[in-house]
């Protein structure tokens, strides 16, 4: 019994060392583009290549911390992502309730339809959506953009929400139903409190996705004072002849840090980092 | 909103179902009341997702444009846009570039590297595992545009990659100009691998260790255990992940837009970029819509395949 294990163990140790070595190399390769962002942001003479700054400076950050350059775009991002996440959570929570609680003939076609929706390439939708927005006179409308963003995040949110709701036992609600409570009352007073972490996960998930979305606001929002950070950062890269790379990196970090923090929060909240990826599998 | 109708129905009540004459009608009313909370979601999806898909099909048959005489009242032109599309040399090239991008970055790159990372992590040290997966996931969680800038800086003429090649005495080309597809493919692998890594890590964790140990006792070598035991056991994850990464890669826009702008010329213009340029840069809305429609159809085909693969889980 001990023979095969002791025979395997030096082999296993070599395997472990090899795995560690290869992983470290891949890790370094993956890290390099990220290191540039961090080092360039504190370098007064940043270029496109990774180098240790000769003088560390916070000048890049102070230079971009003006209302037009970062505060307004970041506020716009917060409004778009927050509005979209609230709308998505409410709509998906309501939709998930009948899907999770009643056996109805609409359930299956609806869920299939929604699953189909998660797979549509949103990039391809922008041309027809642009025409729709022109027709409804919604171009450059923050509200309209929020509605569209919510529609794009709904399919995934409905699936996630339904999965979370399925794990809340129905038996808890049955007592309330016999006492005459309505479905909406039990949803509010029993189901929602029990699935608070799940709702948090969906909210943050939608928020992160919308925060990072570039193409949708890029096409639908035209006035600079309405554009979120994703779009304003691009114009600041594209329009000036000589790009201030240090400032670009500083702005990128300022814009990226909130979602990185939220991601850490979401992994604490619900089932590890896989919660986001797992949701995609339905 | 269904407060008045739903309470009694949920419990079913004492009456025997399906016997009374009014029962059928009552049941239908019940189903209607039960499904009422679906309404906000259905409205949003119908107006902003499925509406545009339908109008895309129609719009691709018109000569709509952003400005000029055809902006307000577009005319029906039948399949003209599609004929023009197939006659335009940019289109087949763009289709080819899209396929290259999908196969190299999603199917081979993200899935291969993701599976490789997940397998290596199984036998690695905990600290290494945590550090490497954090780095890989960070590239994925970063906002698209930030990741695109980082990739741009990495591949640029005087960027990090060439700097590093310089250490070995190799003078690197301007990757974004000379090998634009190569650069955007690697960038997409860098950005998207985390997803596959997470999917495969979860799948591998579900493989019962006893089975692998039994094979080990029977004398199966490492690669044999992987090929004949692990891979067949995670094949469902492999097929769904292939589909999902392909779909995600099909709609990559910002990464290519920032790194190369589709250029030089049209050398990295994949279909989403071509649709964008035709519709918004050249104002040919109808033509752009035709390209978008083709993309949607491709996406729809993948969706159907995906749903079919998932079917037993959904039912």
DSSP B129-178: HHHHHHHHHHHHHS-HHHHHHHHHHHHSTTSHHHHHHHHTT-----HHHH
- pLDDT tier at B69 (50, 70, 90 boundaries)? low
Who's near B93: CB < 8 A, 6+ residues apart?
Answer: B266, B269
Domains along chain A with CATH numbers: 60-270 (1.10.3720.10)
d(CA B124, CA A13): 10
> Is the pLDDT higher at B181 or at B304?
B181
- pLDDT tier at A270 (50, 70, 90 boundaries)? low
Condensed to tens digits (0 to 9), the pLDDT of residues A163-197 reads: 889 888 888 888 888 888 888 888 888 888 888 88
CATH homologous superfamily of B89-270+295-309: MetI-like (1.10.3720.10)
Q: How many CB pairs under 8 A join A and B?
A: 335
> Which residues on B lie below 8 Å from A280 (Cβ)?
195, 244
Q: Are B247 and B105 in contact (CB under 8 A)?
A: no
The CA-atom distances, in angstroms, between A241 and each of A214, A236, A237 are 22, 10, 9
> Is the pLDDT higher at A238 or at B1?
A238
In this complex, do A184 and B307 lie within 8 Å of one another by their Cβ atoms? no
Query: What was the pLDDT predicted at A57?
Result: 85
Angle at A55 between CA A49 and CA A61, to 5 degrees: 80
pLDDT > 60? residue B245: yes
Query: What was the pLDDT predicted at B163?
Result: 85
A246's tokens: 């240090």
Which residue in this structure is represented by tokens 């080990």?
B216
A142-156, A258-272, B131-145: range with lowest mean pLDDT: A258-272
Distance from CA of A235 to the nearest CA of B (A): 11
Is some CB atom of chain B closer than 8 A to the CB atom of A16? yes
Query: Taking residues A54-66, what's their average pLDDT?
Result: 85
Helices B111-122 and B180-205 pack at an angle, to 10 degrees, of: 40
Is some CB atom of chain A closer than 8 A to the CB atom of B242? no
The count of other CB atoms within 10 Å of the CB of residue B262 is 23
In this complex, do B123 and A230 lie within 8 Å of one another by their Cβ atoms? no
Condensed to tens digits (0 to 9), the pLDDT of residues A28-43 reads: 999 999 999 999 999 8
- pLDDT tier at B72 (50, 70, 90 boundaries)? low
pLDDT > 80? residue B218: yes
Query: Taking residues B279-288, what's their average pLDDT?
Result: 83
- What φ, ψ does residue B124 adopt, rounded to 5°? -95, 170
d(CA B273, CA B36): 40
Q: Are B267 and B89 in contact (CB under 8 A)?
A: no
Is some CB atom of chain A closer than 8 A to the CB atom of B142? yes
Which of B153, B198, B275 is opposite residue A274, by nearest beta carbon?
B198
pLDDT > 90? residue A120: no
Query: Taking residues B295-315, what's their average pLDDT?
Result: 74
> Which residues on A lie below 8 Å from B285 (Cβ)?
127, 130-131
> Which residues on A lie below 8 Å from B130 (Cβ)?
none
- pLDDT tier at B11 (50, 70, 90 boundaries)? very low
pLDDT > 80? residue A269: no
Q: Are A242 and A250 in contact (CB under 8 A)?
A: no
Condensed to tens digits (0 to 9), the pLDDT of residues B251-267 reads: 899 999 999 988 798 89
Chain centre to alpha carbon of residue A66: 26
Condensed to tens digits (0 to 9), the pLDDT of residues B187-217 reads: 999 999 999 999 999 899 888 888 878 887 8
Is some CB atom of chain B closer than 8 A to the CB atom of A248? yes
pLDDT > 70? residue B36: yes
- What φ, ψ does residue A56 adopt, rounded to 5°? -80, 140
The count of other CB atoms within 10 Å of the CB of residue B236 is 14
Query: What was the pLDDT predicted at A278?
Result: 43
Distance from CA of A60 to the nearest CA of B (A): 16
Query: Taking residues A84-104, what's their average pLDDT?
Result: 92
Query: What was the pLDDT predicted at A7?
Result: 46
In this complex, do B303 and A119 lie within 8 Å of one another by their Cβ atoms? yes
> Which residues on A lie below 8 Å from B120 (Cβ)?
19, 22-23
- What φ, ψ does residue B76 adopt, rounded to 5°? -75, 125
Q: What is the ipTM of this complex?
A: 0.85
Chain centre to alpha carbon of residue A170: 30
Query: Taking residues B166-188, what's their average pLDDT?
Result: 90
| pLDDT over 90 percentage in chain A | 38
pTM: 0.86
The residue in chain B having the minimum alpha-carbon distance to the alpha carbon of residue A20 is: B124
Burial of A15 (0-12, 13-18, 19+ CB in 10 A): middle
Beta bridge mates, B62 = B76
């Amino acid at each position: 019994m001990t023979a095969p294990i002791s025979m395997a163990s030096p082999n296993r140790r070599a395997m472990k060392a090899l795995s560690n070595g290869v992983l470290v190399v891949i890790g370094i390769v993956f890290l390099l583009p990220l290191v540039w962002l961090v080092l360039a942001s504190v370098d007064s003479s940043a270029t496109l290549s990774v180098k240790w700054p000769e003088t560390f400076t916070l000048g890049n950050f102070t230079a971009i911390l003006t209302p037009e350059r970062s505060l307004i775009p970041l506020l716009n991002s917060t409004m778009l992502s927050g509005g979209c996440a609230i709308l998505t959570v409410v709509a998906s929570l309501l939709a998930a309730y009948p899907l999770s609680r009643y056996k109805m003939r609409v359930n299956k076609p609806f869920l299939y339809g929604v699953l189909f929706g998660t797979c549509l390439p949103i990039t391809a939708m922008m041309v027809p959506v642009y025409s729709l927005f022109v027709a409804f006179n919604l171009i450059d409308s923050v509200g309209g953009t929020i509605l569209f963003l919510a529609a794009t995040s709904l399919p995934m949110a409905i699936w996630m929400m339904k999965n979370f709701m399925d794990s809340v036992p129905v038996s808890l609600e049955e007592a309330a139903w016999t006492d005459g409570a309505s479905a909406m009352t039990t949803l509010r007073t029993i189901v929602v409190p029990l699935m608070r972490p799940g709702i948090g996960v969906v909210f943050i998930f939608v928020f992160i996705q919308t925060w990072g979305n570039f193409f949708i606001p890029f096409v639908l929002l035209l006035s600079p004072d309405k554009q979120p950070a994703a779009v304003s950062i691009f114009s600041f890269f594209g329009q000036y002849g000589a790009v201030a790379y240090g400032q670009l990196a500083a702005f990128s970090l300022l814009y990226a840090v909130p979602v990185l923090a939220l991601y850490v929060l979401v992994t604490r909240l619900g089932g590890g980092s896989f919660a986001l990826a797992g949701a995609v599998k339905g | 909103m269904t407060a008045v109708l739903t309470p009694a129905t949920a419990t079913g009540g004492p009456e025997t179902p399906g016997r009374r004459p009014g029962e059928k009608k009552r049941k239908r009313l019940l189903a209607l009341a039960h499904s009422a909370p679906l309404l906000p979601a259905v409205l949003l999806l119908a107006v902003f997702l499925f509406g545009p898909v339908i109008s895309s099909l129609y719009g691709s048959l018109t000569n709509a444009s952003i400005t000029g005489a055809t902006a307000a009242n577009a005319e029906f032109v039948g399949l003209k846009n599609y004929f023009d599309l197939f006659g335009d040399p940019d289109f087949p090239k763009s289709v080819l570039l899209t396929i290259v991008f999908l196969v190299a970055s999603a199917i081979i790159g993200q899935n291969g590297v993701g599976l490789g990372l997940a397998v290596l992590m199984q036998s690695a040290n905990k600290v290494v595992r945590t550090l490497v997966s954090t780095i890989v996931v960070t590239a994925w969680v970063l906002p698209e545009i930030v990741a695109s800038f980082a990739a741009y800086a990495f591949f640029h003429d005087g960027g990090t990659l060439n700097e590093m090649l310089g250490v070995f005495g190799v003078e690197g080309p301007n990757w974004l100009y000379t090998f634009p597809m190569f650069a955007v493919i690697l960038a997409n692998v860098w950005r998207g691998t985390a997803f596959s890594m997470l999917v495969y890590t979860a799948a591998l964790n579900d493989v019962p260790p006893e089975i692998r140990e039994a094979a080990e006792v029977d004398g199966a070598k490492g690669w044999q255990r992987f090929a004949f035991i692990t891979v067949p056991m995670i094949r469902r994850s492999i097929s769904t992940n292939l589909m999902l990464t392909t779909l995600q890669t099909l709609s990559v826009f910002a990464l290519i837009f920032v790194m190369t702008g589709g250029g030089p010329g049209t050398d990295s213009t994949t279909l989403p970029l071509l649709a964008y340029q035709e519709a918004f840069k050249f104002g040919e809305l109808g033509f752009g819509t035709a390209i978008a429609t083709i993309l949607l159809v491709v996406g729809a085909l993948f969706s159907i395949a995906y749903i079919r693969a998932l079917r037993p889980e959904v039912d």
